[in-house]
Amino acid sequence: MTNTATLPAPPASDQPVRIRIEGMNCAGCVGKVEAALAQTEGVVTAEVSLTGAMALVHGQGLDAEALVEAVRSTGFDAVPLLRRETLTERREAMERRRQQTVKKWRSRVIVGALIWLPLETLHWFGGMMGIDAHHGNWLWFSVIGATVALFYLGSAFYASAWKAARVRTTNMDTLISIGATAAFLLSIANLARMQQSGHDGVQLPLYFTEAAGLLTLISIGHWLESSMTARAGVALRELLALQPEEVTRLAAPTDHDGKTLPTEEVMPGDLILVKPGERVAIDGEIVSGSTSIDESVVTGESIPVDRDEGGMVVAGSLNLTGRLVVKSSTDGSSTTLARIAEIVLNAQSGKTQIHRLADKVSSIFVPAVLGVAAVTVLVWGFLVGDWTTGIISATTVLVISCPCALGLATPTAVMVGSGAASRKGILVRSAEALERASAVSAIAFDKTGTLTLGKPQVVQAEDEVLATAAAIASASTHPLSVAIVEAARDRGLTVPPAGNTAETPGVGLVGMVMGEQVEIISEAKAAEREIALPETPDDASVSAVVRSGTLAGVIAFRDEPREEAVGLIESLREQGIEPHLLSGDRPGVVESIAARLGIDPANAHGGLSPEEKVTMVRTLSGDRRSEPMDDAAGRTPTPQRKRVTLAMVGDGINDAAALAEAGAAGGIGIAIGTGANVAIESAGVVIPGDRITSLGELLAIGRLTMRTIKQNLTLSFMYNTMAIPAAAFGLLGVHGPIIAALAMALSDTCVIGNSLRLAARLRRPGPIE
């Protein structure tokens, strides 16, 4: 066990705490750890990943050492991750854990096969070779072989079962340990009776071969499981491998040689050399050189883009043609690629609602199976009078009931789905977001920068008004502000200096220009302040420029729909998903864009403030919080609305609250990757900014992932539903434990294989359907 007692105790924190856990091997283990963490002071939620061997704990005033002790109290080793791991460290830890697990079970399989196969051959074919495997030295060969198998192969199962017993609980290894031990001890008892009665006595059934075979076959199942689970997680390991482990740091852009150092030692401002054919190791700005660069790791788009001096590059992208010197904008451990990997890891560590249900079933499954096994022994012994059959049937029940497949049904599929999404530039923050994406029945789009290009053009403005507006607009990244600045530059206008600028989402900009307060406000805000505006085109967006409280003029804009947006809307409608358009823009503009995109005019909602967008999201979701209050009765009586899984898609600061509300209402917030940071942080999913069609890919991946999860769970439940009664009634015969071990290994293989089938499907070129 890893000893962390010498580490300094970290302070209590409101930040999430991640803990690496060793030794878990079933859904019951996960449930025990989660229950222990949930009882720790300050914990709000605790999610434990079986496949990732990790716990992610959220709460207030979290004490990492207390959380580790809680995990250790359940019998598992735990180490707190007190700092963010580098991609290299994370990749090496995953690979080391994978190799250790595979090696552990492979060695047991080899030893078990060397013992069991000769015993099984003698058992079935000994008579043909003139060997009596049931008497004399050959019988003792079976006894010794089974004993070695019990101690060597069984040691892993006994150790795990003992850990569980120490904290007064059970796990799947409890079933295996009791089953194998019961078969072995029954054989010892029968052998003793035969020795006492002499060679002419009654031949009693011996299960030494079956005990060795049972442990060998279950070890084979674990070996296949660990190997196939590793394959299911290949997408994350590939992602982690995209950032180079070392970089060349230069003293100046003109240097040709530099110093090689680990990527994690890079600091902001360092100059990093990137040669043609190398991957970019850090985020930063090109200060020397030009190139074509493959950014598919971030955007999902395989077509290279050109970058020259002043352009930005991101970690993980591939430099194709030219020599670059990049000025780092982050440290080596906080790159875009590192954040992407963090999001993918969080998603794979998280749980869907259906996964939580499966965990609840697993938590009571093992005790229930122990009860069934006990009843089986008693019924066969007291009512039928056949204790031998009772013990063998009970052993078969214990072995065939192991809930491995149930524990693997959801996490393997989520691992594949979230990994496939990341390869297409789609970042799914949680497993629940992926689950909700599969059930979306309505989508609310922001207009600007989402369904439109987000590059509005100024179509009407006086030069003086435009120059004054550009002074404060230069401090904003809003598409309308960018359009104002570009229009002023194109006209060659002199823009005065500005100060004390501030931006209020849904309201506008304010700042000081030449000693006067200047505001850029929306048409709706101008109407609230009773500022009369001149006539402008109905299909144009309008902003008012106010100087010292008096209207100085207006600026009119037009924004074109994205070329691919029409096809996306048509595809969504064919799938039965109802599109809506929400915008703070004037209703006429919103209706015009909706008509061009094929959105029902009744679903075009314009003139919305950020607060009204939140209310609209609640309304579309069927959330009763959106209903008006009545002073006398509390709420105005309205018909019960059907709950809808709504996706809200946006990119701006003014969309952040609506994105968060969509998640809170049981739907999903989807941010455009090129949008504002606050919008991205508020969303459950981030899609590439230049590929709105990736929204369709997200929904398809969500549906396929949930379909695979349901198939896996159906396989698991059907297996146990049919297997347990057959075992309890003795229908599998005297070789029941061996058949049970084969069936359990087969069920695990079927579940993981089904998830790998999903992986193969998502890797195929072309659209995902």
What was the pLDDT predicted at 86?
Answer: 64
CA distance 172 to 174: 5
pLDDT at 417 over 70: yes
Contact criterion met (CB below 8 Å) for 624 and 642:
no
HEC-encoded secondary structure of 24-48: CCCHHHHHHHHHHHHCCCCEEEEEE
Q: Which residue has the higher pLDDT, 565 or 13?
A: 565
CA distance 273 to 301: 25
Sign for the pseudo-dihedral over CA of 340, 341, 342, 347: positive
DSSP secondary structure string for all residues of 414-470:
HHHHHHHHHHTT-EE--HHHHHHHTT--EEEEEIIIIIB-S--EEEE--HHHHHHHH
Q: Which residue has the higher pLDDT, 228 or 606?
A: 606
For the chain, percent of residues with pLDDT exceeding 70: 80
Condensed to tens digits (0 to 9), the pLDDT of residues 487-503 reads 999 999 999 998 888 87
Q: Could you say which of 173, 270, 283, 446 is catalytic? A: 446
Q: Are strands 305-307 and 291-294 parallel, antiparallel or unpaired?
A: antiparallel
Among residues 530, 534, 542, 533, which one has the least CA distance to residue 586? 542
Angle, CA of 47, 680 and 60, to the nearest 5°: 40
Sign for the pseudo-dihedral over CA of 224, 225, 229, 232: positive
Tokens of 407: 């524990």
| 294 assigned to active site | no
Q: Are strands 442-446 and 646-650 parallel, antiparallel or unpaired?
A: parallel
What was the pLDDT predicted at 244?
Answer: 84
Q: Compute the 3-state secondary structure of the chain and give helix, strand, coil in percent, each to the nearest 5.
A: 50, 15, 30
Contact criterion met (CB below 8 Å) for 685 and 427:
yes
What was the pLDDT predicted at 551?
Answer: 93
CA distance 654 to 509: 13
Condensed to tens digits (0 to 9), the pLDDT of residues 518-531 reads 999 988 788 888 88
Angle, CA of 156, 161 and 166, to the nearest 5°: 130
Angle, CA of 387, 391 and 397, to the nearest 5°: 140
What was the pLDDT predicted at 237?
Answer: 62
What was the pLDDT predicted at 299?
Answer: 54
Task: Look at 83-92, 107-116, 264-273 and tell me which has the smallest mean pLDDT.
Answer: 83-92
Condensed to tens digits (0 to 9), the pLDDT of residues 430-465 reads 778 888 888 899 999 988 778 888 778 898 899 999
Contacts 24+ apart (CB under 8 A), 81-84: 81/18, 81/19, 81/20, 82/7, 82/10, 84/333, 84/334, 84/338, 84/342
Q: Which residue has the higher pLDDT, 3 or 693?
A: 693
Residue type, position 352, single letter: T
Tokens of 443: 């989508």
Q: Quickly count helices (H) and strands (E) in the chain.
A: 24, 28
Q: Which residue has the higher pLDDT, 226 or 256?
A: 256
Residue type, position 5, single letter: A
What was the pLDDT predicted at 606?
Answer: 85
What was the pLDDT predicted at 461?
Answer: 92
What was the pLDDT predicted at 9?
Answer: 42
* Average pLDDT, integer, range 347-359: 59
What was the pLDDT predicted at 4?
Answer: 35
The whole-model pTM stands at 0.61
What was the pLDDT predicted at 757?
Answer: 87
Condensed to tens digits (0 to 9), the pLDDT of residues 572-586 reads 999 999 999 998 777
pLDDT at 397 over 80: yes
Condensed to tens digits (0 to 9), the pLDDT of residues 702-737 reads 999 889 988 988 887 788 778 889 889 988 887 777
Angle, CA of 692, 693 and 697, to the nearest 5°: 125
H or E stretch at 407: helix 404-423
Backbone conformation region of residue 654, classed left if phi is above 0, alpha if psi is from -120 to 50, else beta: alpha
pLDDT at 232 over 80: no
What mean pLDDT value characterizes the chain?
80
Neighbours of 530 (CB within 10 A): 6
